[in-house]
């Protein structure tokens, strides 16, 4: 049976690139699908031109081309990423790590309900934490770009989520904004301290998981997600 050649495989990678497939794992999936489909066409008509077979197969993806495939993979990997986050978060519900969460809650609760100008102090503390988070985020992104450049490939979808904190970075200034707009009449109230203290504790935990813990386990996570790929490629 007529087979797709290595040069034609390269053409398929180029084709998916031209149609805005930005993730290496999605490219692999599509290239494999296209190659198999073209070979099936050749079983019926061995004389059919490669480009003709490719365009006929591409039309089967509909008006939006590969977009639906990419979006489907994004949803699946977002779900996997959230599962990884939840797995790490559950470790903080056990001793001794739960004591760290308790301390973080008590600090924010006390600053809001008991300390004069405590909200201002908390805002300053959050700004400092935000700067540290931002620097860590920048470092992760820079390191990821260098790695992708050195391996001469597109990033994996899950790798992109790991580098971009699962898109949680866009909410980095949310706690500060909420504090700024807390009405003065509610400051020093028990329920304000309780609700915001819990929110801030959860928020900081999410950022610690996405910025520190998950990137630290990057290779392990990618190897588990893509067992068919060699780790030296990732």
User: In 10 A of CB 13, how many CB atoms?
Assistant: 18
Residues 6+ apart with CB under 8 A from 224: none
Instruction: Name the DSSP class of 153.
Output: S
Q: 11 vs 3, 35, 66, CA distance in Å? A: 14, 10, 16
**Tokens at 225, concatenated:** 């997600």
Please give the Cα distance from 59 to 180 (Å, whole number). 53
pLDDT tens by residue, 127-140: 888 788 778 778 87
Mean pLDDT by 10 residues, the chain (234 residues): 89 93 91 94 91 93 89 92 93 91 91 82 83 80 77 83 73 69 64 86 88 87 77 45
Domain boundary assignment for the chain: 6-65, 77-233
Instruction: Express each pLDDT in 69-91 by its tens digit.
Output: 999 999 999 999 999 999 999 99
Q: What is the DSSP string of 61-79?
A: T-TTTTHHHHHHHHHHHHH
What is the spatial distance between Cα 29 and Cα 25, in angstroms, rounded to a whole number?
6
Q: How far is it, in rounded angstroms, from Cα 80 to Cα 82?
A: 5
Nearest in space to 77 (alpha carbons), one of 163, 205, 203, 202: 163
Contact 77, 158 (CB under 8 A): yes
Specify whether the CB–CB gap between 9 and 35 falls below 8 A. Answer: yes
């Amino acid at each position: 049976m007529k087979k797709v050649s290595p040069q034609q495989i390269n053409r398929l990678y180029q084709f998916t690139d031209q149609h805005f497939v930005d993730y290496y794992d999605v490219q692999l999936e599509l290239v494999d699908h296209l190659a198999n489909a073209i070979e099936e066409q050749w079983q019926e008509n061995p004389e059919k031109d490669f480009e003709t077979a490719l365009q006929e197969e591409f039309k089967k993806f509909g008006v939006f081309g590969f977009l639906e495939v990419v979006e489907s993979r994004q949803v699946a990997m977002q779900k996997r990423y959230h599962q990884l986050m939840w797995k790490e978060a559950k470790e903080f519900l056990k001793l001794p790590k739960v004591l760290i969460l308790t301390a973080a809650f008590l600090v924010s609760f006390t600053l809001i309900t008991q300390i004069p100008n405590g909200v201002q102090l908390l805002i300053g503390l959050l700004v400092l934490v935000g700067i540290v988070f931002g620097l860590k985020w920048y470092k992760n992104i820079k390191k990821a770009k260098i790695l992708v450049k050195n391996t001469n490939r597109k990033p994996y979808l899950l790798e992109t989520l790991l580098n971009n904190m699962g898109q949680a970075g866009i909410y980095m200034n949310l706690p500060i904004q909420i504090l700024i707009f807390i009405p003065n009449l509610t400051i020093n109230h028990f329920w304000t301290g309780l609700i915001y203290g819990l929110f801030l504790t959860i928020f900081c935990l999410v950022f610690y998981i996405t910025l520190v813990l998950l990137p630290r386990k990057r290779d392990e996570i990618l190897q588990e997600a893509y067992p068919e790929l060699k780790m030296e490629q990732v």
